[in-house]
Amino acid sequence: MLPAPRADLQPNTMAFETAPLVKATGFREYDARWLFGSEINLLGVQALGLGLGTFIQELGLKRIVVGHDFRSYSLSIKQALTLGLIGAGCEVVDIGLAVSPMAYFAQFALDAPCVAMVTASHNENGWTGVKMGAQRPLTFGPEEMGRLKEIVLGGAFVERPGGRLERIDGFAERYIAEVSENVALSRPLKVVCACGNGTAGAFAPQALRRMGVAEVVEMDCDLDWTFPKYNPNPEDQAMLHAMAQAVRDHGADLALGFDGDGDRCGVVDDEGEEIFADKIGLMLARDLSALHKGATFVVDVKSTGLYATDEVLKANGADTVYWKTGHSYIKRKTAELGALAGFEKSGHFFFNAPIGRGYDDGLVAAGAILSMLDRNPDRKLSELKRALPAAYTSLTMSPHCPDEEKYAVVDKVTAEYVALHQAGGKVLGRAIVELITVNGVRVALDDGSWVLVRASSNKPELVAVVESARSEDDMRALFREEVKPRLARHPQVGAYNQEV
């Protein structure tokens, strides 16, 4: 039996080779993320697997899918996790190298109620993690993560006999057939497929061709775990700008970008303009609500306020619910409400039947976007974008803030805005009309503009987003003159990953 993990082990010591290292901060709101080596070691990953196996056995389950993303250490981490799961008596079904939605699909296709996908998603090299679930198509939320943390850190493992490993070869073909079978384009499109040298490069180009894309321009689809150009993250400027340049260079109809584990999709239009996922979601909601009258959509609090005011959605009887940011939260709310789709500004798209199975999948999202264009044969993507009401939304900006302090900082900022609202104070001359506090604080202003501050669920960072109903310059002012100075008053807040 493994001993309870420790948090004080150092690499290049005997203790590091003989005891599990697991830092508590890696257990996040809805998945697990650590810096490999300094925050978790291989024995720690084995302890995580033993704890996860103990937990799912508590739930009366034992069959679990595992897969891993393309990083230099992900296979070894999956193997250590598998050792722990087998030690807990689980039936482990290994699908090999995969994107996260391939593992989610395997839960259905291979009759496995549980999943453990080894991935650091779009995080920088050095990070690792596991996305887990025990009720398809859902992934863990805070309650499940809390119980898992309790078992692992407390060493409350239960070893059982009967554990075994089953390897599934060639599963990628089944997944590609699944994501492409309901898309059959009649309109000839040239599409840039951008993968940032991440795992999606092994699968996305083939899937797009199967959907009927006339010409797929592959951009950084060769797997390279050094990520020589930028992290595979279609929400970051570096990847988006590269996608935009590729559209202009090749005269493409659009670019579709996929993150490191393939569960997100970013979009650049035919004019080389980046379209944030919340605006793509609004375009999809307009398109789909015409086909499915009275549909419900779920969007995260980082998303544009246009969902609440859009006249097309109103005319189609659509209803929109704003909810907590995070793939697990939006996935659960979409399932709970029986919504047709859920959208996150980060690029997670969740489609229920008849489009998808309820989990986030960048290629299913790509198919929905391509189908929307197919249903509008006389309009370019840029024209569909211009048909939306004006709203000027910022990038997602993330200043560093330690995991141990980020939630307390957000609580203080929330209290500041509550006090400002109660005192009748204003933000750049505008009255506060509503505070949404389901996830940090979203401050709605009287002209339709808003600002958001929340804690990142998976990194030691805060998250800031602003939207102006007036102009690009006003959007920048909301950040530079309101949000940035307010956060700077808190000494725990550090440098930003990007700014407007």
Which 3 state secondary structure label does DSSP give 355?
Answer: coil
In this structure, the chain runs to a length of: 500
Tokens matching residue 174: 């089944």
Which 3 state secondary structure label does DSSP give 494?
Answer: coil
Q: Is 121 a catalytic residue?
A: yes
CB atoms within 10 A of CB 322: 19
Sheet holding 215-219, edge to edge: 215-219, 190-194, 254-258, 265-268, 274-275
Tokens matching residue 456: 């990142």
Closest Cα to residue 276, out of 427, 397, 375? 397
Tokens matching residue 61: 């389950």
CB-CB contact of 235 with 396 (8 Å)? yes
Q: What is the identity of the amino acid at 483? A: V
Which 3 state secondary structure label does DSSP give 322?
Answer: strand
Residue 196 CB-density burial (10 A; 0-12 exposed, 13-18 middle, 19+ buried): buried
Which 3 state secondary structure label does DSSP give 447?
Answer: coil
Per-residue HEC secondary structure of 366-396 comes to HHHHHHHHHCCCCCCHHHHHHCCCCCEECCC
Q: What is the identity of the amino acid at 188? A: P
Q: What is the identity of the amino acid at 436? A: I
Q: What is the identity of the amino acid at 428? A: L
CA angle 419, 425, 427 (to 5 degrees): 110
Compute the distance between CA of residue 445 and CA of residue 434 in angstroms, rounded to an integer. Answer: 7
The per-residue b/e assignment along 59-87, b for 16 or more CB within 10 angstroms, e otherwise, is: eebbbbbbbbbbbebbebbbbbbbbbbbb
The residue annotated as part of the active site, out of 38, 72, 74, 121, is: 121
Q: Provide CB contacts within 8 A for 42, sequence distance 6+.
A: 76, 77, 80
- DSSP conformation class of 480: I
Which 3 state secondary structure label does DSSP give 65?
Answer: strand
End-to-end alpha-carbon separation of the chain, Å?
52
Q: Cα dihedral angle (219, 222, 226, 232), rounded to 10 degrees?
A: 40
Compute the distance between CA of residue 492 and CA of residue 112 in angstroms, rounded to an integer. Answer: 43
Catalytic positions, written as ranges: 121
